[in-house]
């Protein structure tokens, strides 16, 4: 698996700083699991951020070292233990499995034309969904007000003249419509993270108005 569409510096840096919402972080962590190159860049950015620990002024800490040693008393060391027994190699990388389960666990909703989706996380207007596009099928064309990160976890797709293979991340900015077409050798499964259209926030009050005739 050779990844050719990577996470941009700015997004990766904000991820390393811990400044991104859950959904964006989920897409980035899934990409990192599939891309050693971006993992290396991520480690470098963590060094950059940590460097501010060395050259910054210091603040007074009221906790003593004995306080800390008191807190850890009786707590076990934390080990990095691998999963006890993996019978079958999972399809989804761990960050995605932690939220959605593995591919076999997904309860898809049909969207017509063999295309399926499953919303796996939603918070503060950021929606994470899995998309299943059968071979040679195209998802509906859509524009978007905000940012959309699409991480390929199975198969691959074309969008215009660009190919996105397993492991690649497509980053689509503001209002550029796009239409992913699954490659011919099998279905394509992507994790797509978007921010909800802004008008949605006004729609709910309107619905309430209608329902309650206020």
Partner 1 sequence: MPELSPEDWSLILASVGHSQDKDAFAKVFHHFGPRVKSLMLKYGSNNELAEEIVQETFVIVWRKAALFDADKAAASTWIFTIARNKRIDVLRRQNRPEPDMNDPAMAQDPIPNSEEFVSGKERALAVQRAIAKLPEDQREVLHRSYFSEETHREIAKNLKTPLGTVKSRLRLALSKLRTLIDEDIGEGSI
Nearest CB to partner 1, comparing residues 115 and 128? 128
Count residues contacting partner 1 (CB under 8 A)?
A: 78
36 binds partner 1 (CB under 8 A): yes
Q: How far is the CB of 87 from partner 1 (least distance, A)?
A: 10
Q: What residue has token string 């550029």?
A: 176
The two three-digit tokens of residue 153, written as one number: 């976890």
For partner 1, the binding residue among 99, 133, 182, 192 (CB under 8 A) is 99
- Binders in 120-139 for partner 1, by CB under 8 A: none
84 binds partner 1 (CB under 8 A): no
Q: How far is the CB of 114 from partner 1 (least distance, A)?
A: 25
For partner 1, the binding residue among 136, 146, 159, 165 (CB under 8 A) is 146
204 binds partner 1 (CB under 8 A): no
Helices (H), 73-128: 94-100
For partner 1, the binding residue among 5, 7, 13, 156 (CB under 8 A) is 13
Q: How far apart are CA 12 and CA 119, in angstroms?
A: 24
Q: How far is the CB of 202 from partner 1 (least distance, A)?
A: 12
28 binds partner 1 (CB under 8 A): yes
Q: What is the 3-state secondary structure (H, E, C) of 159-213?
A: ECCEEECCCCEEEECCCCCECCEECCCCCEEEEEEEECCCCHHHHHHHHHHHHHC
Closest CA to 166 of 199, 189, 185, 144: 189
**Reduced to 3 states, what is the DSSP secondary structure of residue 143?**
coil
Contact, 180 vs 188, CB < 8 A? yes
- Binders in 170-189 for partner 1, by CB under 8 A: 174
Side-chain-side CA neighbours of residue 89 (13 Å): 0
For the window 103-122, what string marks contact with partner 1 as x by the rule CB under 8 A? --------------------
């Amino acid at each position: 698996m050779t990844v050719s569409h990577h996470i941009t510096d700015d997004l990766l840096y904000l991820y390393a700083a811990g400044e991104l919402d859950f959904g964006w972080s989920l897409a980035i962590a899934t990409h990192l699991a599939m891309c050693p190159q971006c993992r290396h860049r991520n480690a470098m950015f963590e060094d950059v951020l940590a460097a501010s620990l060395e050259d910054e002024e210091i603040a007074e800490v009221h906790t003593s070292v004995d306080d800390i040693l008191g807190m850890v008393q009786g707590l076990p060391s934390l080990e990095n233990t691998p999963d006890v027994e993996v019978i079958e190699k999972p399809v989804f990388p761990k960050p995605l499995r932690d939220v959605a389960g593995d591919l076999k666990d997904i309860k898809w909703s049909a969207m017509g034309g063999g295309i399926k989706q499953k919303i796996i996380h939603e918070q503060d207007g950021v929606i994470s969904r899995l998309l299943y596009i059968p071979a040679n099928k195209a998802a509906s064309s859509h524009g978007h007000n905000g940012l959309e990160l699409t991480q390929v976890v199975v198969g691959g797709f074309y969008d215009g003249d660009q190919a996105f293979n397993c492991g690649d991340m497509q980053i689509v900015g503001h209002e550029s419509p796009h239409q992913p077409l699954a490659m011919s050798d099998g279905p394509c499964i992507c994790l797509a993270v978007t921010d909800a259209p802004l008008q949605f926030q006004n729609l709910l009050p309107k619905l309430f108005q209608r329902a309650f005739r206020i």
